[in-house]
């Protein structure tokens, strides 16, 4: 697919539901006793894989004609042993959270995924789950496929996160649901708190307090009876980032993004872009299903380079590829630090971003966990960017092509469906110029 220079982007749209919330709503709905109704669920490949895995474990999950999802749960500890391998496709979030949810239930299950997911590290989740009493046998390096034998006599644990990872934190908290007593996660840096918020929404007892050494302790009390809930999934801020940055870069643009989640642990990109000079207005703030949301009005802006501190990385780790694109169009240097986690995403995102910038004519420097982009206005473009089977690389450079001097082509857009299946029609609705290339 190729993106070409577009006229002004105009209109009001709502991007699909948040992927993180969608995974957690399905999982906690399956662990509640009764029917949970989910509105606005992201119907991307990653989330649909989680739904299929939960069905294989015994949950009843159905979509009605109006687009609502109905989950009939079986209670904490109620997973049944699956008859088949549990395939999570490309979803790192889905497989890590489900490993946690299954780790304290006495079943045996084998988890796998696609080629990309089978290259991603699982050791960081395996180690704390084995502390509960689970037995896990993985490929060399702690990689998928792996077989998990859930603990028969689970014990609560206290675990300090070695890296800032909401996925690891969530896996431990979900495992703690079926362990007697209190399970605690200690974190040095704040990470996404969707799991804690949604656990409380479903009736679990979750608390947070300061701990020694500047740490934060998050506690969950085990063996609750979760209550089914109605969940309205807010628009995904990671998906909203693409039309948002497009509107900032394409001259004369003015768009409205409806119902975007503004959880403080996910709003880092907006904060950074505003420091760069972005005209982003936040309107109609409200709370739905325990999450803060608002409408965003975005206008074309002259951006300038800034320093992005490593402490902000957990709140925008998925948005660094599109931030790097914005930085290339800005004036001056944008320094981004604390990016080591990008090395172990769907691809080595840091290397993939740098290679794409190079092909499109941007100037930059790269280190093991940092990227410095020297912005100088519109990119030259005129290149084909390798996506490495990574949806966020594909979308980021298609956005770059809308404001570059020459078109930008990406080699593969199939994986966009994992998180943003309506990306192309939604962007075209705003006025973006994409074309399908002959294969």
Contact partners, residue 83, CB within 8 Å, separation at least 6: 56
Backbone angles phi, psi at 429, to 5 degrees: -60, -35
- Among 403, 361, 360, smallest CA distance to 378 is for 403
**What is each CA distance from 331 to 162, 300, 303, in whole angstroms?**
36, 14, 6
Instruction: Specify whether 318 is catalytic.
Output: yes
Strands 33-39 and 230-232: parallel
Q: Label each residue of 86-155 as H, E or C.
A: EECCCCHHHHHHHHHHHCCCCCEEEEECCCCHHHCCCHHHHHHHHHCCCEEEEECCCEEEEEEECCCCCC
Structure tokens at 385: 């960017």
State both tokens at 71: 């989950």
d(CA 223, CA 226): 9
Catalytic residue among 45, 295, 318, 390: 318
Q: How many Å is the Cα radius of gyration of the chain?
A: 21
Tokens coding 128: 């704390």
Task: Name the packing angle between helices 92-102 and 123-131 (round to 10°).
Answer: 10
Triad 289, 75, 142: Cα angle to 5°: 90
Greatest extent of the chain over all pairs of C-alpha atoms, in Å: 62
Catalytically active residues, by annotation: 318
């Amino acid at each position: 697919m190729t993106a070409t220079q577009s006229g002004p982007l105009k209109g009001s749209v709502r991007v699909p539901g948040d992927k993180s919330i969608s995974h957690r709503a399905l999982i906690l709905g399956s662990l509640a006793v009764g029917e949970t109704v989910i509105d606005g669920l992201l119907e991307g490949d990653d989330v649909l894989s989680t739904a299929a895995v939960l069905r294989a474990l015994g949950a009843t999950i159905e979509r009605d004609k109006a687009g609502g999802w109905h989950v009939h749960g079986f209670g904490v500890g109620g997973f049944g042993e699956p008859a088949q391998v549990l395939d999570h496709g490309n979803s790192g979030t889905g497989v890590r959270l489900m490993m946690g949810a299954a780790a304290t239930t006495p079943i045996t299950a084998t988890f796998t995924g696609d080629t990309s997911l089978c290259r991603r590290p699982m050791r960081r989740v395996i180690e704390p789950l084995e502390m509960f009493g689970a037995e896990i046998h993985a490929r060399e390096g702690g990689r998928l496929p792996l077989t998990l034998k859930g603990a028969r006599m689970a014990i609560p644990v206290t675990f300090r996160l070695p890296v800032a990872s909401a996925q690891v934190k969530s896996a431990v908290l979900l495992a703690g649901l079926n362990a007697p007593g209190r399970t605690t996660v200690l974190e040095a840096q704040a990470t996404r708190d969707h799991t804690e918020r949604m656990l409380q929404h479903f009736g679990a007892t979750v608390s947070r307090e300061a701990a020694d050494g500047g740490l934060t302790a998050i506690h969950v009390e085990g063996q609750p009876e979760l209550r089914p809930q109605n969940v309205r999934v807010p628009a995904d801020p990671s998906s909203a980032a693409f039309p948002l940055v497009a509107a900032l870069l394409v001259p004369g643009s003015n768009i409205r993004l409806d119902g975007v989640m503004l959880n403080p642990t996910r709003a880092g990109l907006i904060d950074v872009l505003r420091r760069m000079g972005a005209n982003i207005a936040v309107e109609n703030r409200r709370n739905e299903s325990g999450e803060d949301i608002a409408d965003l009005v975005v206008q074309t802006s002259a951006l300038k380079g800034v320093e992005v501190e490593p402490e902000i990385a957990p709140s925008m780790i998925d948005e660094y590829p599109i931030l790097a694109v914005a930085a290339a169009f800005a004036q001056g240097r944008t320094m981004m630090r604390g990016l080591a986690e990008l090395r172990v995403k769907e691809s080595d995102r840091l290397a993939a971003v740098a290679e794409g910038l190079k092909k499109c004519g941007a100037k930059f420097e790269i280190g093991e966990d940092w990227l410095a982009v020297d912005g100088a206005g519109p990119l030259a473009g005129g290149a084909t960017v390798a996506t490495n089977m990574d949806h966020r690389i594909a979308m980021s450079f298609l956005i770059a092509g809308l404001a570059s001097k020459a078109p930008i082509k990406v080699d593969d857009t199939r994986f966009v469906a994992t998180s943003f299946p309506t990306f192309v029609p939604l962007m075209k609705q705003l006025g973006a110029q994409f074309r399908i290339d002959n294969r």
